[in-house]
Structure 1
């Protein structure tokens, strides 16, 4: 058993968390991860209204009696979602764990904690993790440069970012970006994390609500088949490499602005990718960890397999590695 500060704080069996992915974090997947002993996450804004979120939470609760959480991603946009209403729906539904991400979560954290809700804040740098700790987050999920979606602008990979967070933080934290198997979990724990967060790996599970063609493309892809877009806009995003991402990079590289690519990167097109299985229909996010994914198992079995692999790897390392003493001249 891999008992860590994170498993103790959030009442789960294995230190493995399912990322709160747009269009993917639905009740079936979240419940399956939680049933397997990890922490499943429903994505609030996948649901079109706060009332729909309440229904989705009820569906998840009917599928598992184990802890699960809700992701609330805070974005700056022209047509802002009614965050206060989504937040109240989470509170009224009796959810006990929320993952926040994106813009400054202070007012949301304060309100949610007033109702006894534990907060995991997802961020991309040590400085943002420290702020999350100051405002009362119970844990941090730290994204390395390998991650899908928005990995920040510092380009720091997990091998550096994880121990840097371990040195700086007092609260538990989990590592995200590049994790897909037990070797990764063992490495994260060794580097000082209290667990891992996986998005791309959980996209390729039987309960994942995306088209089988997209799952198979991820299995067949390598770590080289992603693309960084929006670099010029200081809003870097890692996506699957396809004709649309190539066009976005070309337009912005020639001096274009967001208005010149907004139709190409519309979220509705990305949703179509997942629903219809056409990988060229729009922009869709995937991490470099796709190069490590070989199968499409049940999500709960995946959680248990990764935990067992990590424990075996840690045991074998302590048994097999011998450090010879070197005499000092």
Structure 2
């Protein structure tokens, strides 16, 4: 069993964190990740009202007695979001772990996290931002390298450089990721000094993930070459699966299309249609280069057990090679 500062701090079996994914990391999937020994993270931005969010938190707490977190999204949104409403529910329901992503959390939110006794994880893009939130009281920072699916940030730094650079800079446990799909990747991230590993793309191809089987099978058949970068023209670079919508987005960007034109392609409603109905060209879907190591669709528990067994075997083998 691999035990780290993160597993001890959060009370989880494995040093594995499920990446927050819009429309995907909802209550049932979050509970499945936590029950499998990792940390499931609920995407609060999925929920349009305080009441809907409250129902989701209740559902998780009915399905698992294991630790889970809630993500508070600090990126600019198409609709106004009062994150204090989500925090109200979290405090009322006794949620003990909060993840923020995007711009650094406002001081008033940080104070609320601390006053409620929450463990605060902040996901950021590099050293400068990690140091800033360390000074604001964050307990853990998460960074993902350029290989990752979804927002890649502005720095274009690969996982093998980004993770140890942040580990060296802060005095907090670091969660690292970007392209991690198996136990070899987990062993590598831990060897770089991180205390935990975040995975998103790989756990999309699991039985419990609430996306259409057409998409899961497409990922199983994909290679490391089947992703591309889009939305760089609007300063929101994302790595996504190459499909009709992604290629249309790139074409529009090359022709200097307006944001309104791009939005009709990249909007979340299109992605949700793909997830629900299996129309593989309907919208863009975040996907990392590690999809090339996705070869089956197990349960989350089966995947985590396999990954951690492989990670342990790799670390033992490497230790045995030291003379």
Q: Is TM > 0.5 for Structure 1 vs Structure 2?
A: yes
Map of 1:113 onto structure 2:
114
Contact 2:104 2:129 in 1 (8 A): no
SS of the residue aligned with 1:264? helix
Q: CA deviation at 1:77?
A: 3.0
Whether the 8 Å CA contact 1:34–1:300 is kept in 2: the answer is: no
Which residue of 2 is the match for residue 138 of structure 1?
139
Report the alpha carbon displacement of residue 230 of structure 1 after superposing the two structures with TM.
1.3
The yes-or-no answer on 1:126 pairing with 2:127 is: yes
CA drift at 1:321: 4.8
How do 1:1-329 residues align onto structure 2 when only pairs under 5 Å count?
A: 1-107=1-107, 108-322=109-323
Aligned length: 322
CA distance in structure 2 between the aligned counterparts of 1:25 and 1:77, rounded to whole angstroms: 18
Deviation by residue 1:56-83 (Cα, 9 ceiling, x = unmatched): 1111111111111111112213522232
Partners of 1:89 and 1:70 in 2: CA distance: 11
String of CA shifts for 1:181-208, please: whole Å, max 9, x gaps: 1100100011111110001111111111
Q: CA deviation at 1:167?
A: 0.8
SS in 2 for 1:279: coil
The alignment's TM-score, normalised by the length of structure 2, stands at: 0.96
Residues 106 and 135 in structure 1, CA contact (< 8 A), matched pair in contact too: no
Q: How much does 1:261 deviate? A: 1.1
Q: Give me the whole-angstrom Cα distance separating, in 2, the residues matched to 1:220 and 1:34.
A: 27
Q: Name whichever of 192-201 and 48-57 sits farther off.
A: 48-57
Computed over aligned residues only, the root mean square deviation of the Cα atoms, in angstroms, reads 1.3
Structure 2 unaligned runs (5+)? none
Mapped partners of 2:21, 2:60: distance in 1: 16
- Report which stretch shifted further, 151-160 or 23-32: 23-32
Unaligned runs of 5+ in 1: 323-329
Q: What SS is found at the alignment partner of 1:156?
A: coil
Q: Is the 8 A contact 2:177 2:189 kept in 1?
A: no
Distance in 1 (CA, whole Å) between partners of 2:78 and 2:216 is 32
In structure 2, C-alpha distance between the alignment counterparts of 1:166 and 1:61, rounded to whole Å: 33
In 1, the alpha carbon distance for the partners of 2:79 and 2:70 equals 22
| Mapped partners of 1:31, 1:259: distance in 2 | 36
